[in-house]
Amino acid sequence: MHDFPLLLMALALAGTAWRRAWVGLLGVLVVGLLHPQNYALDFMRGMPVYAVLLANVLLATAWEFARHRTWPRLFWDRHIGVLLVLWAWFALTTYYAINPAMAPAKLFDVSKLLLPMALIGVLIDSKEKLRWLLITLALSIAAIVFKGGYWALIHGFQDRVYGPEGSAYGGNNEFAVLTAMAIPLLLFWYRGLHGQAWRWAVAGLAVLAFVSAISSWSRGGLLSVLAVAVLLVWQSRRKGLAIPLLAIGIGLLFAGLPDAWFARMQTLGAPELDDSAASRLIVWRMGWNYALSHPWFGSGFESWVLFAPPDVELRAWHSAYVQVAAEHGLVGLALYAGLIGSTLWSLLVLMARGGHDRRARHEPSVTRMAAAIFTALAAYLVGAAFLSIAYWELLFLLLAAAWVLRRLALNPAPPA
Within a domain: 297: no
pLDDT, tens only, 351-373: 887 644 444 444 668 899 999 99
Whether residues 82 and 61 share a domain: the answer is no
Whether residues 53 and 128 share a domain: the answer is no
pLDDT, tens only, 245-282: 666 666 666 666 666 666 667 666 555 555 566 677 88
- Count other C-beta atoms under 10 Å from residue 129's C-beta: 18
Domain boundary among 71, 92, 114: 71
Tell me what the pLDDT averaged over the chain comes to.
Answer: 84
Whether residues 53 and 86 share a domain: the answer is no
Name the DSSP letter for residue 257. S
**Residue 95 pLDDT class (50, 70, 90 cuts):** very high
Within a domain: 276: no
User: What are the residue ranges of helices labelled H in 68-112?
Assistant: 78-95, 103-111
Compute the average pLDDT of residues 241-248.
67
Whether residues 241 and 345 share a domain: the answer is yes
Whether residues 63 and 19 share a domain: the answer is yes
Range of the domain at 243: 77-268+317-410
Q: How far is CA 267 from CA 132, 256, 271, 413, in A?
A: 40, 20, 5, 52
Within a domain: 312: no
pTM of the model: 0.91
Whether residues 31 and 169 share a domain: the answer is no
Within a domain: 309: no
Whether residues 247 and 209 share a domain: the answer is yes
The contacts of residue 346 (CB under 8 Å, 6+ apart) are 79, 402, 403, 406
Whether residues 32 and 133 share a domain: the answer is no
Whether residues 167 and 210 share a domain: the answer is yes
Q: How many domains does the chain have?
A: 2
Whether residues 136 and 28 share a domain: the answer is no
Within a domain: 294: no
The contacts of residue 21 (CB under 8 Å, 6+ apart) are 57, 60, 61, 64, 123
Whether residues 256 and 139 share a domain: the answer is yes
